[in-house]
Amino acid sequence: MTDLLAEVLRRITPERLREAAVAVTSIPSPTGREAPLAAWLAGQMRTSGIEAGVQSIDADQANAVGRVPSSRTGRDLMLYAPIDTLTTGDEREDVPWVGPSLRPDMRAEGVVHGDLVQGLGAGNPKGHAACVLVTGQAYAEAVAATGIVPHGDLVLAFGAGGMPTNAIGGGRANTGHGVGASFLLERGWYTDHAIIAKPGDFVAHDEVGLCWFEITIKGIHTYAGSRHRLPYRNPIVAAAEVATRLESWLAAYPDRHRTASAAPQGIIGAVAGGWERMLAVTPAVCRLRVDIRLAPGRQALDVRRELASFLSTIDADVDCELVNHIPASVTDPDSWVITETIRAWEAAAGRPHQPVPDNSGATDANILRARGIPTARVGMPKAALPGIDFALGMNTVEITAMRRLCEVLARVAVANSQEER
**Is-contact 391 210, C-beta < 8 A?**
no
pLDDT of residue 400: 98
The string over 52-81, giving b where at least 16 C-beta atoms fall within 10 Å of a residue's C-beta and e elsewhere, is bbbbebeebbbbbbbbbebeeebbbbbbbb
What residues form DSSP beta bridges with 77?
154, 193
Residues 56 and 185 in one domain: yes
Domain that holds residue 83: 2-207+329-418
CA distances from 418 to 2, 76, 153, 192, 337 (A): 11, 11, 11, 15, 14
Residues 406 and 303 in one domain: no
**Is-contact 382 388, C-beta < 8 A?**
yes
Task: Give the C-alpha separation, 88 to 417, whole Å.
Answer: 38
Q: Which amino acid is at 52?
A: A
**Is-contact 288 270, C-beta < 8 A?**
yes
* Overall domain count for the chain: 2
Residues 233 and 199 in one domain: no
Q: Is beta strand 154-159 parallel, antiparallel or unpaired with respect to 77-82?
A: parallel
Residues 221 and 296 in one domain: yes
Rounded (to 5) percent helix, strand, coil in the chain: 40, 20, 40
End position of a domain, from candidates 280, 297, 326: 326
The CATH number that applies at residue 146 is 3.40.630.10
List pLDDT tens digits, range 313-353.
999 999 999 999 999 999 999 999 999 999 999 999 999 99
**Is-contact 79 135, C-beta < 8 A?**
yes
Q: Is 336 helix (H, G, I), strand (E, B) or coil?
A: helix
List pLDDT tens digits, range 381-409.
999 899 899 999 999 999 999 999 999 99
Residues 171 and 213 in one domain: no
Residues 203 and 234 in one domain: no
End position of a domain, from candidates 326, 353, 374: 326
Residues 122 and 237 in one domain: no
pLDDT of residue 1: 56
Helix (H) or strand (E) holding 181: helix 179-186
Q: Is 108 helix (H, G, I), strand (E, B) or coil?
A: coil
Helices (H) and strands (E) in the chain, counts: 12, 16
Residues 315 and 333 in one domain: no
End position of a domain, from candidates 306, 326, 346: 326
Residues of the chain with pLDDT under 70: 1-2
Handedness of CA 168, 171, 177, 179 (dihedral sign): negative
pLDDT of residue 2: 67
Task: Give the C-alpha separation, 115 to 132, whole Å.
Answer: 19
Nearest to 340 by CA among 183, 348, 185: 348
pLDDT of residue 126: 98
Question: Measured at the alpha carbon of residue 156, what is the angle toward residues 390 and 133, in degrees to the nearest 5?
Answer: 60
